[in-house]
Amino acid sequence: MEFPDLGKHCSEKTCKRLDFLPLKCDACKQDFCKDHFTCAAHKCPFAFEKNVQVPVCPLCNNPVPVRKGEIPDMVVGEHIDRDCNYHRKTEKIFTYRCSKEGCKKKEMLRVACDQCRGSFCIRHRHPLDHSCKHGGRPIGAAGCTAARASESKPSGASNTLSSSWLAQRLRWRVKR
């Protein structure tokens, strides 16, 4: 061998492999091969010194100190009960009240009418349901259905076909 001092033997008693790139354990400062460099693999007696985990409060995101022998979940629970500085926000979830007379329902998201721009509940969201008279003449039931169908379909050939079909269908009804 040209380089007899190159590399080190694994410090694990059962291995003793000659490794040219040995890894040093952070806790016990001994050299190990790639198979035994973790604390669990070589049963490191000083692993407890490096295995320090500090739990974080889920509400205030502050670290909670834990002494040896204490259960982290219990300590965090006590912190939440006593020392936590988290103040719960009392925001209202259902803030959009229906504009229809006599209806007291509230919605989480604003459901606006395209014609009168009023905020309505799910039950009164369509112009016919809340007696909408803004934006010209009120749309009939068939017109609402046709408008909804044309909005839901993508623009293109299929939309042109459906609108021409609807126009022919309406002309046929008028002729009858």
Residue with tokens 């016990």: 28
Do 6-50 and 90-132 come out as alike in CATH topology?
A: yes
Give the Cα separation of 123 and 125 in Å (integer). 6
* 24's tokens: 């040093």
Record: fold of 6-50: Zf-an1 domain (4.10.1110)
pLDDT digits (tens, 9 = 90+) for 158-176: 444 455 666 666 665 555 5
Q: Which pLDDT belongs to residue 32?
A: 92
User: Percent helix, strand, coil in the chain (nearest 5)?
Assistant: 25, 10, 65
* Global model pTM greater than 0.75: no
Quick: pLDDT tens for 117-157.
Answer: 889 999 998 888 888 876 555 455 555 565 556 555 554 44
Q: How far apart are CA 18 and CA 40, in angstroms?
A: 21
Q: Where are the domains of the chain?
A: 6-50, 51-89, 90-132
- Best CATH choice for the domain 90-132 from the list 3.40.50.2300, 4.10.1110.10, 1.10.220.150, 3.30.1300.10: 4.10.1110.10
